[in-house]
Structure 1
Amino acid sequence: MRRAVTWAASRLWLAVLLVWLWELVTTRVGEAYFPPPSQIVAAGRELWFSGPPERFFLTEDAVEDFGPSLLNLFAGWLLTGLAGIALGVALGLSRAFAGYVEPIVHFGRAIPPPTLISVFLSVFALGTSMQVATIVFGVIWPVVLNTMDGVRTVDRLYLDSAEVFGVRGLRRLRRIVLPAAAPKIIAGLRISIGLALILMVLSEMFGSKHGIGAHLVDSQRDFEPAAMWAGIVFVGLLGYLLNAAFTLAERRGPGRYRARAAT
């Protein structure tokens, strides 16, 4: 426990120093567009965490800003995971199928997702469907490609052993292929969640009245820099926590997945 605390403290001191310098410089300079962290924290608390205790201190603004954003983020990411892994497995198992579909995948990957926001607005109008569609289109490619690569690089010894013991079809996929490819699949999901966070904010800035992206636009329009920076900090913290969760999964997972595939 003491070692864990020491490890965390040794890596937090730089962040604390930077925040302290930010507070010191912005307080003295008095630049309106760059408020000190103390003002940002106060604005975030007043805006989102000054509600009644029975609602866990969440305000109406917190529900309107956090709720739609998290719903869009995880709905889009989960759909991406399901579709991306399924397509990646199919491409990895069948070279013939990959010969037809892989060029389309690379073409779709080359299209910048923001260029299709106007298309999704025309098809879905404002709302969750447009935002989820933007997220899915923008983040599915790393999941597909990592899954395909993971399936193709499964140790041949595992596959030959499965063949000897009569493990075929869906059973082989579930017991051998997916566990062996899991590290690369997780890496693809990790990349995709970061992209999903970016597209969540971007789609809400263009096509939503609620969510953290809409909050950023409203704060900028109403000239409320502290509230705007509070939204930026929230997005940064959310991204950091999601990345930390996947980093932990990547560190602890590979040995466990390979052991499962080997059995």
Structure 2
Amino acid sequence: MTLTSSIQTRTKIARRQQRSGTPRWLLIGAEIAVPVLLLALWWFASAGSTNTFFPPLQVILERLGQLVQTPAFVVNVGSSVGNLTLSFLLATVIGVVLGLALGLVRPLSWFVEPTIHFFRAIPPVALVPIFVSLIGFGNETRIVAITLAAVFPILISTIDGVRAGEPTLEMVSRVYRLGWRERLFSVTLPAASPRILSGMQVSLITAFVVMIASEMLGSSTGLGAATLLAQQSFAIPDMWAGILVLGIIGYAATALFTLFRRRVLRWYIASQQQEKNA
């Protein structure tokens, strides 16, 4: 294929994408407009509310502005974000390493997979009381509980991704006599990366849920504990402020990971789009 024909082909593909796909500016506008509309609806629906448990959004935002300036609130946010980040990274490392081992060594997976599926079937939140009973109420308990709950989606996705690798690529790597390290980092991991990152996205949501549950059970730090304490103390605006911040953190974590996933899988997304428009 000559340079001219290659440029023409790429131009045709780009034109097809512009014709068939939704404009990017419209998607970004919708993503911004929907939360704004929901907040506006909440604002007007709660305006003038005299219900103790459903205060006006204006009161909640004013209280949130006051809480942001307090050291205790900053400590709680830092504790929650720190536990979530550390546990998610630990779950990623453990899940990918074990997933590669079980995916590449079939006899090993025959012995381990039944146990994996057994623990995966247990609701992640149900594991929190177990670790509290065994380890105590320290910060280590929350990290262990979040990590264990978040590791299974990554582990299973890695195993599936390794086993579903393109056989042609494996054959080519053997023909060229690539070493096991080259095959692992140049063939196996790139081929399995779409499924691994999909598992990581599910794992992030699981880690976020278990983080809140672990903080609400016998903890004195973290946004989950602060929100529960506000509810028990009938500090309802504080409770709603905590819920609002938790939602913001969850949305921000998902958005950042989505950007990371798109950047890592640019080659995969481009190849899928080319096949679709071919």
Same fold (TM over 0.5): yes
Return closer, same or farther for 1:13/1:116 CA change in 2, 3 Å cut-off.
closer
Deviation at 1:93, TM superposition (A): 0.8
Are 2:53 and 1:33 aligned?
yes
Could you tell me which of 36, 42, 46 is aligned with 2:62?
A: 42
Return closer, same or farther for 1:224/1:258 CA change in 2, 3 Å cut-off.
closer
Deviation at 1:205, TM superposition (A): 0.5
Q: Could you list the per-position Cα deviations for residues 208-249 of structure 1 after superposition, in whole angstroms to 9, with x for gaps in the alignment?
A: 111001101111011111111111111111111222223334
For the residue of structure 2 that corresponds to 1:173, the secondary structure is helix
Taking the aligned partners of 2:49 and 2:73, their CA distance within structure 1 comes to: 31
Contact 1:131 1:207 in 2 (8 A): no
Contact 2:43 2:58 in 1 (8 A): yes
Return closer, same or farther for 1:11/1:75 CA change in 2, 3 Å cut-off.
closer
Contact 1:44 1:227 in 2 (8 A): yes
Mapping for residues 185-224 of structure 1, pairs under 5 Å: 185-224=196-235
* Greater Rg over alpha carbons, structure: 2
Are 2:238 and 1:227 aligned?
yes
What is residue 174 of structure 1 aligned with on the other side?
185
Amino acid at match of 1:99: W
Taking the aligned partners of 1:258 and 1:81, their CA distance within structure 2 comes to: 22
Could you tell me which of 80, 87, 91 is aligned with 2:98?
A: 87
Mapping for residues 1-263 of structure 1, pairs under 5 Å: 7-48=27-68, 50=69, 59-256=70-267
Taking the aligned partners of 1:120 and 1:156, their CA distance within structure 2 comes to: 42
Return closer, same or farther for 1:118/1:14 CA change in 2, 3 Å cut-off.
closer
For the residue of structure 1 that corresponds to 2:165, the secondary structure is coil
Contact 2:158 2:192 in 1 (8 A): yes
What is residue 55 of structure 1 aligned with on the other side?
none
Taking the aligned partners of 1:116 and 1:160, their CA distance within structure 2 comes to: 43
Aligned-residue Cα RMSD (Å) equals: 2.0
What is residue 7 of structure 2 aligned with on the other side?
none
Return closer, same or farther for 1:99/1:233 CA change in 2, 3 Å cut-off.
same
Taking the aligned partners of 1:258 and 1:179, their CA distance within structure 2 comes to: 13
Taking the aligned partners of 1:43 and 1:169, their CA distance within structure 2 comes to: 58
Contact 1:180 1:257 in 2 (8 A): no
- How many residue pairs match? The answer is 248
Alignment identity in percent?
Answer: 35
Contact 1:179 1:257 in 2 (8 A): no
For the residue of structure 1 that corresponds to 2:55, the secondary structure is coil
Q: Could you list the per-position Cα deviations for residues 11-67 of structure 1 after superposition, in whole angstroms to 9, with x for gaps in the alignment?
A: 33332222222111212332221222222221111011x2xxxxxxxx312332112
For the residue of structure 1 that corresponds to 2:217, the secondary structure is helix
When normalised by structure 1's length, the TM-score is 0.87
Contact 1:92 1:98 in 2 (8 A): yes
Deviation at 1:124, TM superposition (A): 1.8
Contact 1:43 1:230 in 2 (8 A): yes
Taking the aligned partners of 2:266 and 2:169, their CA distance within structure 1 comes to: 15
Unaligned runs of 5+ in 2: 1-22, 271-278
For the residue of structure 2 that corresponds to 1:30, the secondary structure is coil
Q: Which moved more, 1:186-195 or 1:121-130?
A: 121-130
For the residue of structure 2 that corresponds to 1:209, the secondary structure is coil
Deviation at 1:252, TM superposition (A): 4.2
Q: Which moved more, 1:240-249 or 1:84-93?
A: 240-249
Q: Which moved more, 1:235-244 or 1:179-188?
A: 235-244
Deviation at 1:5, TM superposition (A): 5.5
Deviation at 1:255, TM superposition (A): 4.5
When normalised by structure 2's length, the TM-score is 0.83
Unaligned runs of 5+ in 1: 51-58
